Amino acid sequence: MSHTPEKHQFSWIKKIQIFRLPLIVIIASGILTINLIRTLQVVGDLQAKRRIKPYSFIGDQFAPIKAILKNESRVGYWSDRSLDDRQAAALLAQAQYVLTPSILELNALDHHFVIFDCRNKQDQINIIRTLGLKPLKISPAGFILAENPNIK
């Protein structure tokens, strides 16, 4: 029995074609198994981390001033940190989420209320004094809510 070269050339493709469905099922089963193992690893690792350091939403530290700001449409947010720093950017974004519907204006001091979040806490107090603002609330995390009596 003779085969043309063309038939020889593509015979392996035909073999694959015959077994394509089992092949796909085997690969899919392999991926599924690996994925389930990785799921256990990912979830286990995160749960282990959480046991050491429980999940926290850093914006929650702004919750105590929500009642004070509830009627304010705009609030200043003054920070000397660069927002390229993920921690500082996350703090601003989460503060904004917690204090919604007030809108936080970054580095705007011309509001009745201004939130200060500086790296050096003494500088923070000096700035508030220099601007003639009145500190209303100091959080354990270090930010200060200040009031500007000259702006209503």
Shortest Å, Cβ 36 to another protein: 5
Q: State whether residue 107 is helix, strand or coil.
A: coil
How many chain residues touch another protein (CB under 8 A)?
36
Q: CA 31, CA 46: separation in Å to the nearest integer?
A: 22
Q: Which is nearer to another protein, 37 or 132 (CB)?
A: 37
What letter does residue 64 receive in the DSSP assignment?
G
Q: Which is nearer to another protein, 39 or 126 (CB)?
A: 39
| CB contact at 8 A, 92 and 77 | yes
Report 27-46 residues binding another protein (CB under 8 A): 27-29, 31-32, 34-36, 38-39, 42-43, 46
What are the backbone angles phi and psi of residue 73, rounded to the nearest 5°? -80, -35
Smaller CB distance to another protein: residue 83 or 151?
83
**Complex with another protein: residue 76 or 133, whichever CB lies closer:** 76
- Decide: is 142 part of the binding site for another protein (CB under 8 A): no
Q: Which residues of 51-75 are buried (b: 16+ CB within 10 A; e: fewer)?
A: eeeeeeeebebbeebeebbeeeeeb
How far lies 98's CA from each of 76, 138, 144, in Å? 15, 17, 16
**Site residues (CB under 8 A) for another protein?**
16-17, 20-21, 23-25, 27-29, 31-32, 34-36, 38-39, 42-43, 46-47, 50, 55, 57, 59, 73, 90, 93-94, 96-97, 100-101, 103, 105-106
